[in-house]
Amino acid sequence: MPTLKIQTNAKLEDSAWDALLSAASKQLAELLSKPESYVMVIAEPTAKMCFGGSQEPLAYLELKSLGLPEARTPELSAALTALVGEHLGVPAGRVYIAFSAPPRHLFGFNGGTF
């Protein structure tokens, strides 16, 4: 159930968004050793965002995963920051990432919970 949400004000063509979604899905499955069939990636282009008083390209990411390995968040942060840098052109210093590991009973799927 790894779910990655990417919010950004970077401007991309539709084909570039498709490439980002595919790359993020594959990379997240590999990083978390989960089947890609369980991975969800949400890309939200947001026209209005500001960080540090500037509206230059930036990104806010949220990664939720059951059993998220907290000791690996620095590694995950580096990999996800590199991903958005490559696909969105957003510098590392303009990326925030929120990590969370919800309890299984608080994450629903297929009409039930995990």
**Phi first, then psi: what are they for 53, rounded to 5°?**
80, 5
Number of structural domains, the chain?
1
The mean per-residue pLDDT over the stretch 18-39 comes to: 96
Name the residue range of residue 71's domain. Answer: 3-113
Residue 14's CB: how many other CB atoms inside 10 A?
7
This model's pTM is above 0.85? yes
Return the active site residues. 2
Element containing residue 24 per DSSP (H, E): helix 14-32
CB 2 within 8 A of CB 29: yes
Whole-number pLDDT of residue 47: 80
pLDDT digits (tens, 9 = 90+) for 39-62: 999 999 888 999 999 999 999 999
Task: Please name which of 110, 109, 113, 57 lies closest in space to residue 84, comparing C-alpha atoms.
Answer: 57
| CATH number of the domain encompassing residue 90 | 3.30.429.10
Q: Measured between alpha carbons, how far is 77 from 98 in angstroms, rounded to an integer?
A: 9
Whole-number pLDDT of residue 81: 98
- pLDDT higher than threshold 90 for residue 74: yes
Beta bridge partners of 5: 42, 62
